[in-house]
Amino acid sequence: MGRSPCCEKAHTNKGAWTKEEDDRLTAYIKAHGEGCWRSLPKAAGLLRCGKSCRLRWINYLRPDLKRGNFSEEEDELIIKLHSLLGNKWSLIAGRLPGRTDNEIKNYWNTHIRRKLMSRGIDPVTHRGINEQHGSTNITISFEAAWDDKAKVFRRDEPTTTKAAAITHQMEWGQGKPLKCPDLNLELCISPPFPEEKPVVKREAGVGVGVGVCFSCSLGGIPKGSDCKCSSFLGLRTAMLDFRSIEMK
């Protein structure tokens, strides 16, 4: 059995939105807010799929959208974020107020990719096109136990099945090192430790300070305002604080 369709295809419009449809959708959301997308089209008197309404609102009608050309600062921020996050457009968009994931994705594919190529940088790996790739091992391990009361992972306790499940969910190898030709890093992610200062590890004469928050450090949101440092990469399964990522 396949998934049931999100809407009745036979009675829905497709393709470009008309002015009237836009007005209806905008008026409805202004009056009732963003609620259940599935039931919205009927309630708003639109012959559209809920999914289509959601997309139209998020990508085009939302009043807080910036629109217009990307600034040089936005360009550089997108490049930085992409080098850290890859094609996680929604996460990148979250750091660029007024921009949507779709807009950034399109902009990346049409402008930035070419811009990087012209600089001799591979847009996928963010390394020089002519650079030789070295081999890399990435090992991610959790040494923590899940505290069900506090809903947090606690360090310095034996690894639990839940911690192992997260490793599995991240698809980073079930304990086996992941070979990645594009990075020369060995990473070790451990759970957050609120009172602890950011970890700085030095090895082979190279110090890596990693008290990093995307919002604060990359300039998206002023520190202390709306910054939610603890929701690292949107991972909700466990509270992974980027401050606790150790690099060696």
Partner DNA sequence: AAGGGAGCCAACCGCTTATTA
Partner DNA sequence: TTAATAAGCGGTTGGCTCCCT
Give the binding site for DNA (CB under 7 A). 1, 3-4, 6, 13-17, 35-38, 49-52, 54-56, 59-60, 87-91, 101-103, 105-107, 109-111, 169, 234, 236-237
Q: Cα(62)–Cα(98) distance, rounded to whole angstroms?
A: 9
For tokens 């209806």, what's the residue? 24
Rounded to a whole number of angstroms, the minimum distance from the CB of residue 203 to DNA is 32
- Name the residue nearer to DNA (CB basis): 110 or 132: 110
Using the minimum distance from each CB to DNA, give the nearer residue, 122 or 246: 122
Q: Which is nearer to DNA, 4 or 118 (CB)?
A: 4
Q: What is the largest CA-CA distance in the chain?
A: 66
β-pairing, 144-147 vs 152-155, is: antiparallel
Least distance from DNA to the Cβ atom of residue 122, Å? 15
State whether residue 202 is helix, strand or coil: strand
Q: Which is closer to DNA, CB of 111 or CB of 211? A: 111
Coil, strand, or helix at residue 243? helix
Which of 223, 220, 212, 215 is CA-nearest to residue 74? 220
Q: How far is the CB of 204 from DNA (least distance, A)?
A: 34
Least separation, in Å, of the C-beta of 61 and DNA?
A: 8
Integer Rg of the chain from CA? 22
Residue among 52 and 190 whose Cβ is closer to DNA: 52
Instruction: Report the nearest approach of DNA to the CB of residue 133 (Å).
Output: 20
Q: Report d(CA 58, CA 52) in Å as an integer.
A: 10
